Amino acid sequence: MKKIKLKKVNKDVVDGWMGTYGDMITLLMAFFVLLFAVSYPDPGKYEEIRESMQEAFSNKEIQNEFSELNKDLIEVFKNKGLEDVVEIIPGPKGILVQIPGSTLFSPASADINSDMTPVIEAISTTITDLLNESTYQNYMIEVEGHTDDIPIVDDSEKFSSNWDLSAIRATGIVEVLQKSGIEMHKLKPIARAESIPLFPNRNDAGFPIPENMAKNRRVEIYINKF
């Protein structure tokens, strides 16, 4: 008797369209799980993003305020007829106001010339009117006194050295700024003596260069953003 082979049916196989549909559903589920995992709010990362955005907006605001301050200071010296004498140098850290020593003081003196006291007062008022009323108030003002390299004579009754002279000159400017409205903790006088000349005080033969010495005798007012 001839044996009849029975055809085995694989019950694990499904119709073609069902397999494709199942694969699509699985992939979609995996995609949404991945999307959820990536978008899940991490408190630490969120705080970093928030702080970065705040810093970016704050820096932009500070930049605008100091740009306006630079214009106002230029106007102050223009009104006083000093636009060709005083140099204003804006930079990434703030504004530098450079005033020749001969404009501020008599030779070997730390007394501010009477016609320059109103100018220093105007600088103070310009700063406080703009920055104290703004959202950015954490500025710092450093006043540096600079001299040439001619030593103070030993019998001088006023100053013991160029360090002494530059310190007293810087302190005198700071006192006027404070009396005109700038808070004490925002002010710092600094003595530089002849340590940071803009130009060589002497030539290669060691002889003085008077015009360079005159430029090196100066006061620098740094209005720092931080």
Q: What is the CATH number of the domain that holds 190?
A: 3.30.1330.60
Contact 82, 103 (CB under 8 A): yes
**pLDDT at residue 77, as a whole number:** 95
Mean pLDDT of 92-101: 94
Contact 166, 147 (CB under 8 A): yes
Q: Would you say residue 24 lies in a domain?
A: no
Tell whether the model's pLDDT for residue 57 goes beyond 50. no
Mean pLDDT of 166-171: 97
Percent of the chain whose pLDDT exceeds 70 = 74
Q: Show the tokens assigned to 45.
A: 């990362």
Helix count (H) and strand count (E) of the chain?
6, 5
| Alpha carbon distance 39, 161 (integer Å) | 67
Q: Show the tokens assigned to 215.
A: 């430029």
Q: What is the largest CA-CA distance in the chain?
A: 143
Give the count of domains, the chain. Answer: 1
Q: Would you say residue 211 lies in a domain?
A: yes
Among the listed residues 141, 124, 224, the one whose alpha carbon sits nearest the alpha carbon of residue 181: 124
Mean pLDDT of 175-187: 96
Q: Show the tokens assigned to 117.
A: 């006291």
Q: Would you say residue 115 lies in a domain?
A: yes
Q: Would you say residue 21 lies in a domain?
A: no
Q: Show the tokens assigned to 224.
A: 């720092």
Name which residue leads in pLDDT, 200 or 41: 200
Tell whether the model's pLDDT for residue 35 goes beyond 80. no
Q: Would you say residue 103 lies in a domain?
A: yes
**pLDDT at residue 167, as a whole number:** 97
Q: Would you say residue 94 lies in a domain?
A: yes
Q: Would you say residue 199 lies in a domain?
A: yes
Helical residues (DSSP H) of 80-209, grouped into ranges: 101-104, 117-131, 162-179
Q: How wide is the angle at C-alpha 102 spanned by C-alphas 99 and 105, nearest 5°?
A: 95
**pLDDT at residue 27, as a whole number:** 72
Q: Which domain holds residue 185?
A: 58-224
Residue labelled with tokens 């949404």: 32
Q: Would you say residue 189 lies in a domain?
A: yes
